């Protein structure tokens, strides 16, 4: 990563935790894990509570829907680490890897049902243009999304508009698919806290 402290500035107990993760998973420690465990009281812990609420809190969107939103934001913002990481979680959550891959390779999202399709397109515009207007919201409401569903999707947006920026700015390395699969298994079992 671009700051040495994020690679090896952790406390001894955190380094021991990383060694345990490597031993159990037989995979490298993902850079996002290194980030959230560096001075965790400053960023990792409070951001973990935001992400947990957005991604695993009460919502009529499924966990798979929200992980797909995260992957779609990452794709739109050209963040390879977050795209691979959350595509893997969405695939594992839905049990349908082909459908998730198809969605993420289809700019028009033609095979996605409403109101998820309109919601993903809204998040895509918010990611690209960094703002949206009332007409954009009316389109999502007209597609069948409730106000609460839109608010829940915007919470996912907040979390991943933060995380994709940090992944790109700090230059997270992109490991092989086995490392992301191990990360996906953990995120589905334990969440973001």
Partner 1 sequence: MSDIQQARTALTTRILEGDGQLPSSGRQAAFHNRGVRGPAGALVDKVARQAWRVRDEDFAAAQATGLNEDQVFEMVVCAAIGQATRQYEAALAALEAATGTE
Closer residue to partner 1, CB minimum distance, 120 or 182: 120
Q: Which of 151, 173, 176, 190 binds partner 1 (CB under 8 A)?
A: 151
- Binders of partner 1: how many residues, by CB under 8 A? 51
- CB of 63: closest distance to partner 1 in angstroms? 16
Residue placing its CB nearer to partner 1 in the complex, 21 or 40: 40
HSE toward the beta carbon, residue 76, CA cutoff 13 A: 24
157 binds partner 1 (CB under 8 A): yes
C-beta of 9: minimal distance to partner 1 in Å?
A: 8
Question: Angle, to 10 degrees, between the axis of helix 63-76 and the axis of helix 116-129?
Answer: 30
Q: What angle do CA 147, 149, 153 make, to 5 degrees?
A: 115
Would you call 138 exposed, middle or buried from its count of C-beta atoms within 10 A (0-12, 13-18, 19+)? exposed
* Residues 75-134, interacting with partner 1 (CB under 8 A): 77-79, 122, 126, 130-134
Based on CB atoms, which residue is closest to partner 1, 114 or 151? 151
168 is an interface residue for partner 1 by CB under 8 A: yes
CB of 26 to partner 1, least distance (A): 29
185 binds partner 1 (CB under 8 A): no
Binding mask 29-68 for partner 1 (x = CB under 8 A): ---------xx-xxx--xx-xx-xxx--x-----------
Rule CB under 8 A: which residues touch partner 1?
2-6, 9, 38-39, 41-43, 46-47, 49-50, 52-54, 57, 77-79, 122, 126, 130-138, 141, 147, 150-151, 154-155, 157-159, 161-162, 164-166, 168-171
């Amino acid at each position: 990563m671009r700051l040495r402290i994020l690679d090896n500035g952790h406390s001894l107990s955190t380094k021991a935790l990383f060694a345990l993760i490597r031993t159990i998973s037989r995979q490298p420690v993902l850079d996002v894990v290194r980030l959230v465990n560096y001075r965790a009281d400053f960023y990792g812990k409070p951001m973990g509570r935001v992400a947990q609420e957005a991604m695993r809190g009460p919502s009529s969107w499924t966990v798979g829907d929200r992980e797909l939103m995260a992957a779609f934001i990452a794709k739109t913002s050209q963040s390879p680490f977050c795209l691979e990481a959350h595509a893997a979680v969405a695939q594992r959550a839905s049990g349908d890897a082909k459908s998730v891959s198809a969605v993420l390779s289809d700019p028009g999202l033609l095979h996605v049902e409403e109101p998820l399709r309109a919601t993903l397109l809204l998040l895509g515009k918010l990611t690209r243009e960094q703002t949206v207007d009332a007409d954009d919201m009316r389109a999502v409401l007209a597609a069948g999304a409730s106000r609460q569903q839109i608010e829940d999707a915007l919470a996912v947006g907040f979390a991943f508009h933060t995380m994709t920026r940090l992944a790109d700015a700090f230059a997270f390395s992109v490991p092989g698919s086995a490392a992301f699969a191990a990360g996906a298994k953990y995120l589905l079992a334990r969440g973001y806290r």
